[in-house]
Structure 1
Amino acid sequence: MFPVIFQTIFHRFTTLPFTLASLILLFSMTACQSQSFEPTKTTLFVFGTMVDIAVYDTEPNIAEQAISQVEQTFQTMHHEWHAWEKGGIVSKINQAIARKQSIEVPKSVKNFILTSQDLSQKSQGLFDPGIGSLVALWGFHAEEWQGPPPSDQQIKHWLENKPSIANISFKKNQLSSQNSYVQMDFGGNAKGLAIDIALASLKKAGIKNALVSIGGDMKVMGSKNNQAWSIGIQNPQNLNKALAQIALQDNESIMTSGNYQRYFEWQGKRYSHILDPNTGYPANSFSSVTVIHNDATTADAAATALLIAGPARWEAVAKSMGITQAFLIDTEGNILQTKAMAKRVKLL
């Protein structure tokens, strides 16, 4: 599905954190031995955040061509999958649903929506890309929040209609929804998809050692200077310091959701952009959740779901989503983690 997705996929990436507000910081490592080639690196601003691509142990011309292909893919995604900009595929889907019309979509788009539906079901409905109308109600679709927050009555009205990605159905490639309140917004997992696509593209080009980071969420391939990739987990209460360190292995992704990454304050209260579909209000139990998984799309969705789940439900949701490695920080700074994660994390 990747070649087709390269031409069609994007979403509203402006919900992503800027690099300075990212939970994940890449630690520099000293090479244990000399390399045949200097690393090839590039940084660009796309999806509303900083994107870093680094290729190691590769002839510069090959690395540059491979990176250029990823850049072109990201630019196409940025244009096509912007949830709130006319002309993109998500915008067209949302307009059709609002008009109670069906719309034909590319097979790759259908596959991604089906994948997202499956992830939503496994998350017990906590991860749900069908709540774009709730995102708009809170004003998080705008570049700058204008306020005030929605009234309790507005939230109640939205909950009465309860739009969900589960309301999407297909007849072949014809997409439709009986719930006209459904509006798609893939801010919860499309950056993971973009990272998966980028690594697949680099691998196809013959690259064996690389890292792709979007706003600090990342996936690696191979190693860095013949060593594992050393990654830091940022302290939500002190953004200039790492709270923990972990060695990322080949084909692993590390994705984080945080309630401080994008938010607004109103009358002394902070409102996070991560919204609970069951209440209509921002999640506020965890400050951050970091998930490691081979599939970045899954890790991205799971990080969002676990943050919404809170202390009482996160373990059950992690199990149902197949997540064995999670690192969570509550609003008091307390750390919770899975047993598999605890074996790997080094607290600083």
Structure 2
Amino acid sequence: MKTSQSSISSLAIVVLLLLVMLGGCAELQPSSQPMIAKRAQMHMGTLVTVTAVSFDTQVSDRAVQAAFDEIKRLEGLLSTWRSDSELSQVNAEAGRQSVSVSRETFELVVRSLEMAQLTRGGFNIALGPAIEAWSVTEQQQVPDEQVLERLKPLVDWTSIQIDKKLRTIYLPHQGMRIDVGGVGKGYAADRAVEVMKRAGAKGGVVALSGDIKAFGVLPERSGFPVGIRHPREEGTLIGLIDLHDEAVSTAGDYERFFERDGVRYHHILDPHTLQPARGCQSVTVIAKDGTIADGLDTGIFVLGPENGMALVESLPDVEAIIVDADGALMVSSGLRDRLGVP
């Protein structure tokens, strides 16, 4: 699955795993010693890295392969860059008829609509036509206001119709398009972790670009350490945190953007104006669920720092680090004692 501007981008979140410990599949050792397997492949338009920890080399390798197989399977259902995917079929039938989909596709669309409601439309899976009009990384064009105004009926997420009994999705206007690129990687990380557990892994990390899900622990560590990237200083971190059976995801204005006349135009659009959202430089969300972390970081970015942090503080098991438009750092109350200095 790829977003319309996707490319292999630098990680928004840097996994700080020791290279000596994770330098590939471990050789056979006594069963009392943890085995660590790590591999990387291209899926969903990005580099996917999977690390598994167990007390058996074969189990670690099997868990890593199971994770890749699950991610590849989900890509076949959810990618709007594949004409044979379920979501592409939903989009192709926009304005004509509803489409029956798998449990996974339906679940992700339903959860996406719930996050749209939670973020007052800040997160919106119907934004595809507006994203294409901007074409931030390809054409680098600033679309005319009249063009954006004509697109507004096509990006109305509230008009998406779902039937839970029949498990169907219907887009009522021709030209509407669902794109779950803003939440699909977090969902895939969640599913990959589940199959790794079933394969026998005692711990591990699934990293799809800036979307990371960790479970269990590394040997001799209390969690999985990650660093949060500075949105304006490449190679610099603004903080360190250990993940404990958690996911982390970052939305930033620095990965896909262009500048014109001193103005930065980036890919995170405000669904209400169809202009780039201006309140934040980056938003990092930590949650138990990768789907929630992936969807909320974009929604909070659009809501802005004050409203976004108020939402975070109202939600259980959700924390956030927000860098506002001026570069000021905001950290949610439950994260302040956990955030380390790089």
Q: What is the TM-score when the length of structure 2 is the normalising length? A: 0.88
Letter in 1 for 2:112: S
- 1:319-338 → structure 2 map (5 Å cutoff): 319=313, 322=316, 324-338=318-332
Q: How many residues align?
A: 330
Q: How far does residue 261 in structure 1 lie from its aligned partner after superposition?
A: 1.4
1:115-154 superposed matches below 5 A = 115-139=111-135, 144-154=137-147
Matches within 5 A, 1:81-92: 81-92=78-89
1:13/1:147 CA distance change after superposition, 3 Å: closer
Matching of residue 285 in structure 1 with residue 274 in structure 2: no
SS of equivalent to 2:40: strand
Aligned counterparts of 1:80 and 1:308: Cα–Cα separation in 2: 28
Task: Write out aligned runs for 1:214-293 (5 A).
Answer: 214-227=208-221, 228-249=223-244, 251-293=245-287
Please tell me whether the aligned partners of residues 4 and 131 of structure 2 are also in contact (alpha carbons under 8 angstroms): no
Partners of 2:321 and 2:329 within 8 A in 1: yes
Identity of matched residues, %: 24
What's the offset of the Cα at 1:12?
2.7
Shift of the 132–323 alpha-carbon distance from structure 1 to 2, 3 Å rule, reads: farther
5 Å-filtered alignment, 1:136-215, equals 136-139=132-135, 144-160=137-153, 162-164=155-157, 166-170=159-163, 172-215=166-209
Q: Which moved more, 1:291-300 or 1:262-271?
A: 262-271
Q: Deviations over 1:18-38 (max 9, x none)?
A: 452x2211223598xx97144
* Aligned CA distance change for structure 1 residues 62 and 28 (closer, same or farther; 3 Å): closer
Q: Contact conserved, 2:126 with 2:155, CA < 8 A, in 1?
A: no
Using the TM superposition, give the Cα deviation of residue 305 of structure 1 relative to its aligned residue in structure 2, in angstroms.
0.7
Question: How far has the Cα of 1:235 moved from its partner?
Answer: 0.9
Q: What is the TM-score of this pair, normalised by structure 1?
A: 0.87
Amino acid of the residue matched to residue 128 of structure 1?
N
Rounded Cα–Cα distance in structure 1 between residues aligned with 2:265 and 2:150: 20
Cα gap change, 1:27/1:279 in structure 2, threshold over 3 Å: closer, same or farther? same
Partner SS, residue 234 of structure 2 = strand
Q: CA deviation at 1:324?
A: 3.7
C-alpha offsets along residues 273-331 of structure 1, whole Å, 9 cap, x if unaligned? 11111111111221111111100100111111111111342133335655641101123
1:16 Cα deviation from its structure 2 partner: 5.7
What are the Cα deviations for residues 181-228 of structure 1, in whole angstroms up to 9, with x where unaligned?
Answer: 431011111110000001001011111111111113211111011312
Corresponding residue for 2:2? Answer: 12
More deviation in 60-69 or 322-331?
322-331
Does the alignment pair 1:46 with 2:36? no
- Secondary structure of the 1:238 match is coil
Structure 2 unaligned spans of 5+: 22-29
Instruction: Measure, in 2, the Cα distance between the counterparts of 1:240 and 1:90.
Output: 36
The residue type paired with residue 276 of structure 2 is P
1:46-125 alignment, distance < 5 Å = 46-97=43-94, 99-125=95-121
1:263, 1:271 within 8 Å by CA — same for their partners in 2?
Answer: yes
CA 1:116–1:322: 2 relative to 1, 3 Å: farther
Gaps of 5+ in 1: 1-10
SS at match of 2:93: helix
CA distance in 1, matches of 2:253, 2:111: 25
- Supply the distance in 2 between the matched residues of 1:17 and 1:313 (Cα, whole angstroms): 31
More helix by share: 1
The 1:96–1:321 alpha-carbon spacing in structure 2 relative to 1, beyond 3 Å, is farther
| CA RMSD between the two structures | 2.3
User: Does the CA-based 8 Å contact 1:309-1:317 persist in structure 2?
Assistant: no
